[in-house]
Structure 1
Amino acid sequence: MKKILFLGTTLMLFILSSYAQDKVIEKSGKKPKWVNGLVKDYIIVSGTGADLQSAQQNALTLIKQQIVSAVAENVKSTSTLYTEEANYNNTVNIFLEKYASTTNTQSGKVPFLQGISLSKAEEYYWEKLKRPNKTITYIYHIKYPFSEFELKKLVSDFRMYDRKLTFQLERLLQQIDSVQTVEQIEGNMAQLASLKDYFMDARQDQCNLGISQYRSLLNSIELVELESQLSELKYYLRLGNRPISTSKKPIVRSECARIGSIINNADNVIIQYDYENCYEDPENSILVKYHFGTTDVQKLFYFDVTASKTSIFLSDPLYFKSILKDDNMVTKAVLDLTLQSKYDSPFTIEKVVIEWKGLSPIIIDNIQQNFKGKGSHNLRLNVNQPISINETSALGKTLPVVSGYIYYRSSANGELMSYRIYNQSYTTDW
């Protein structure tokens, strides 16, 4: 404390000698005895400026600088009391020494400096001086109460506050590998940004590193599709090999689908949509986009409007092969059909009806054969109804045709459909 008072006195003597030849043209009153002196439990400062207000503010800045220097000196002098705190105290001292040189712009960030104001000054005195070169200068003197007790209290407050923020920094850095929500990442980044503005030592670099690591987490988030179905998209957010959640609603767009509800569940997100206006296009998609801070996380989810569609037709002639027959009738036969499916969705053949003009229809029921995928599928059926050889034989005929129906059911929606066999060519081995 004595060292700080000595430095303050030296500074005032320098200012006094600099303005010794100036003429006082105005003053606030009778010049007090404490001006440019030393008074126990007080800080005496003199600030200069081109006007009264700037001189006053410069004086206040000097008070803050002397208090910060006093705190720094006290912390430094007590650092030898506790060996285990040597590194900590050295860090605090470096911080305060840097702080003392930037008090004017940084004081608002440290609580123990926020209480320093002109309203607490016990006395003040100012002079308006005219210098030999005719310029006007103001000198503002302040007598500010600052006892040893107040110094110790400020030192204690600072140490407690600094430790608190250091522990906060350590906690935020430890949470990098265990965050569970996007909001926690963003909140921790905001806290680190605030701490970075406070710290003026190596801890500022730690804050910058932490912010960079958290931002990297946001960049690593990906959207992963779950068991989606047509008209409903279900996905979750993944960070590395673990899920991560957010309460934020995504931006959802589609060139053809109409977006309905967006449901945020604890472990997934469901987007319901209407695809009625979408054509059969492999590029049909839904864009899901999140904006996390300065990071965009997005993905295109493709959907197939034909996923629940089922449509079949016959492309090749039907082929009948006899198993048992006599001169007039085929009593047992095999029928081979080549089915063409227009879509990938699965379906089940339930019933086939074959009709020759003027004859009773051949009905093959309870087939229950399943098929899946776009393209050709072979269907072989056993025919156990008697068939007239003369009426149905394809041998020697130019273009034998047969009609009938194929009844099939969509596995996607359970709908029962039918395909009309009309004048379909066929062959027989009889």
Structure 2
Amino acid sequence: MKFRVFPIIILIIILFNTSCSLPRVLEKSEKERPNWVYSIDKDHIIVEGVGYTWEEAQDDALKKINERIVNSVAVNVSSETSVSVNETVIDNISRYSQNTELRTNISTDFFNSLRGISLNKAENFYWEKQKHKDRTVKIHYHIMYPFSERELNGLLSEWVKMDRDFTTELDNLEDEVENCDRLSDLKLLHEKAVYLEEIFSGARKTRASLIKTEIEQLIEAVKFEIQSHERGRLILMLHTTDRYLMVNKNADFTSSCAVLQDQKIIENGKALEINYDADFCYSEDKASFRINQNYSGTNLGLDFLIPEGENTARFTISEPVRFKRSPINPDNIRWYIPIRIFTEIPFTVTKVELIVTHESIIDIRKFIVGEEKESYFVAEIEEEFDQKGDFSLQFDVPSGQNGKATLISQLINIFV
């Protein structure tokens, strides 16, 4: 008697455990679950969407409809075209399911008809609100969506046309890159190469990747190139690995001494001529300026040393000028002009002229006799310099010229 009871107890325990592992239906849209749920139908797609809310469950169901349609096309395309095409579409399915902007756009480009999928076109639906063994409550949304053989063939035709168009676009991309002469256009072509690389697989994916890498190298190698530079005039070009690019017509010019005069495009847009005034840069050692330009987010900048003018000596008065009576002739005035020479170009000082006008900053005009508007002296000298450094330019000036007292003699009588 005991041996007969034991199997019955085991059977009851097994049935009890099995029933406890199944979700419990809390609510449902119909009294009985329809027969089409979890079935297969030739002219329909049947899916189940799951979510914590009605919206999540419906969205999940719509996404699965899209994936099923893409899968249907992928299977047929792979058998009619090539394995690489099948891999491409499957890759797109994966990207589509991740629901990122770029990857969703790729799937939508391939299958424009998917934009029209909505719950309103569902032929049947059924939902259940279930409580699972982990005590979570989820909505299970079942949809029977019409998808006939005719619709599948339409999508196949669309895919074949789209695939052909993308291949043509890839072929044209190589020519566009080869002939491109604008940095902004190179960036647009780079975006297109990235886009095509995402779409294709196999040999075409490799081609798109190589084109993308070539464009990246062209962009990274862009730099300013000096065609010519003489004091006051710079001709600048934009160069990359194997070509010159079109330059922008405007550049930001900054300098502590030079002043921009004008800039213009020359040589059919391939060169920028910049004219500047460097007259106030003689006192600066290694005077320079900077050029900056922006090309669709790419900032290019370069510093340029201002070259010395041809046969131009550069020097300045470095300290206050001094004068006293000449040790040789007391009637003359010895001038001491301290100068700092910045160049090694040999030059000779042959004349020094001093002019004092009514517009002079220093107020020594009161020593001018009568109605004279200016008083001056001219010293004819001959002193040579041929190296950098600090020097003193010395010369004697008579206190009177042409039998007439000058401003210098008046100053000497007062200060010397």
Q: Structure 2-normalised TM-score?
A: 0.61
Distance 1:18 1:307, change over 3 A: farther
Q: Work out whether 1:272 is the aligned partner of 2:243.
A: no
Q: Work out whether 1:304 is the aligned partner of 2:275.
A: no
Partner of 1:116: 117
Aligned-residue CA RMSD (Å) = 3.7
- Residues 49 and 55, structure 1, Cα contact 8 Å, conserved in 2: yes
* Amino acid of the structure 2 residue aligned with 1:196: E
* Amino acid of the structure 2 residue aligned with 1:57: D
* Amino acid of the structure 2 residue aligned with 1:139: H
Q: Deviations over 1:347-388 (max 9, x none)?
A: xxxxxxxxxxxxxxxxxxxxxxxxxx93279xxxxxxxxxxx
1:159 Cα deviation from its structure 2 partner: 2.0
- Residues 129 and 138, structure 2, Cα contact 8 Å, conserved in 1: yes
- Residues 248 and 293, structure 2, Cα contact 8 Å, conserved in 1: no
2:346 equivalent among 372, 375, 378: 375
Distance 1:404 1:153, change over 3 A: same
Partner of 2:58: 56
Q: Deviations over 1:59-93 (max 9, x none)?
A: 122212211111011112223xxxxxxxxx32211
Distance, in Å, in 2 between the alignment partners of 1:65 and 1:123 is: 19
Distance 1:310 1:103, change over 3 A: closer
1:235 Cα deviation from its structure 2 partner: 1.8
Distance, in Å, in 1 between the alignment partners of 2:21 and 2:154 is: 38
* Amino acid of the structure 1 residue aligned with 2:62: L
The structure carrying a bigger helix percent of its residues is: 2
* Amino acid of the structure 2 residue aligned with 1:237: L
Unaligned runs of 5+ in 2: 1-17, 316-340, 349-378, 383-394, 398-416
Distance, in Å, in 1 between the alignment partners of 2:314 and 2:50 is: 93
Partner of 1:70: 72
Unaligned runs of 5+ in 1: 1-16, 80-88, 313-341, 345-372, 378-402, 407-420, 424-430
* Amino acid of the structure 2 residue aligned with 1:122: E
Q: Work out whether 1:97 is the aligned partner of 2:90.
A: yes
1:300 Cα deviation from its structure 2 partner: 2.7
Distance, in Å, in 1 between the alignment partners of 2:20 and 2:209 is: 46
DSSP-derived class of the 2:41 partner:
coil
Distance, in Å, in 2 between the alignment partners of 1:152 and 1:254 is: 68
Partner of 1:194: 195
1:140 Cα deviation from its structure 2 partner: 0.5
Partner of 2:165: 164
* Amino acid of the structure 1 residue aligned with 2:85: V
- Residues 182 and 218, structure 1, Cα contact 8 Å, conserved in 2: yes
1:284 equivalent among 272, 287, 297: 287
- Residues 75 and 93, structure 1, Cα contact 8 Å, conserved in 2: yes
Q: Structure 1-normalised TM-score?
A: 0.59
- Residues 99 and 200, structure 1, Cα contact 8 Å, conserved in 2: no
Q: Deviations over 1:317-340 (max 9, x none)?
A: xxxxxxxxxxxxxxxxxxxxxxxx
Identity percentage of aligned residues: 28
Distance, in Å, in 1 between the alignment partners of 2:178 and 2:285 is: 39
Distance, in Å, in 2 between the alignment partners of 1:234 and 1:206 is: 38
Distance, in Å, in 1 between the alignment partners of 2:67 and 2:19 is: 21
* Amino acid of the structure 1 residue aligned with 2:346: G
1:163 Cα deviation from its structure 2 partner: 2.4
- State the number of aligned residues: 302
- The 5 A counterparts of 1:39-54 are 39-54=41-56
Q: Deviations over 1:127-149 (max 9, x none)?
A: 11223554322211111121111
Q: Which moved more, 1:50-59 or 1:289-298?
A: 289-298
Partner of 1:151: 152
* Amino acid of the structure 1 residue aligned with 2:87: I
DSSP-derived class of the 2:281 partner:
coil
- Residues 343 and 374, structure 1, Cα contact 8 Å, conserved in 2: no
* Amino acid of the structure 1 residue aligned with 2:40: L
Distance, in Å, in 2 between the alignment partners of 1:132 and 1:243 is: 69
Distance, in Å, in 2 between the alignment partners of 1:135 and 1:180 is: 61
Partner of 1:382: none
